[in-house]
Amino acid sequence: MHEMSLAEGVIQLVEDTAKRENAQRVKLVVLEIGKLSSVEPEALRFCFDVVTKGGIADGARLEIVDVPGSGWCMQCAATVSVGELYGACPTCGSYQVQPTGGTEMRVKEIEIE
């Protein structure tokens, strides 16, 4: 389950930021997760709860914002919405679609006290 290592990376970034800002605790973490990122949001929520226990972010709420997938079709040169990696272009049916969005995962916001 790679979500555990992702959660550990997120919490490290959050704790470093909280320490730099002299925060007493972290109340909220907002993540953007792309539909094409191969990250399972519910597994990440579980792992986030585990890695925050006993730290400055213990009890922090995790909010996940879904980022839709998009790609550029090399066959018809269209920018299209895609729901899965290596899927067909919804315009022409070609499988030569290069992902251009929805593969990312980033910390968008941290609320601290």
Alpha-carbon span 84 to 52, nearest angstrom:
31
pLDDT tens per residue across span 53-112:
999 999 999 999 999 999 999 999 999 999 999 999 999 999 999 999 999 999 999 999
Predicted TM-score of the model (pTM): 0.87
pLDDT tens per residue across span 36-58:
999 999 999 999 999 999 999 99
Domains (ranges, CATH) in the chain?
3-112 (3.30.2320.80)
The sign of the torsion formed by the CA atoms of 81, 85, 90, 95 equals positive
Per-residue pLDDT at 1: 57
Instruction: Extract the tokens encoding 32.
Output: 């953007």
What angle separates helix 3-20 from helix 41-52, to the nearest 10 degrees? 50
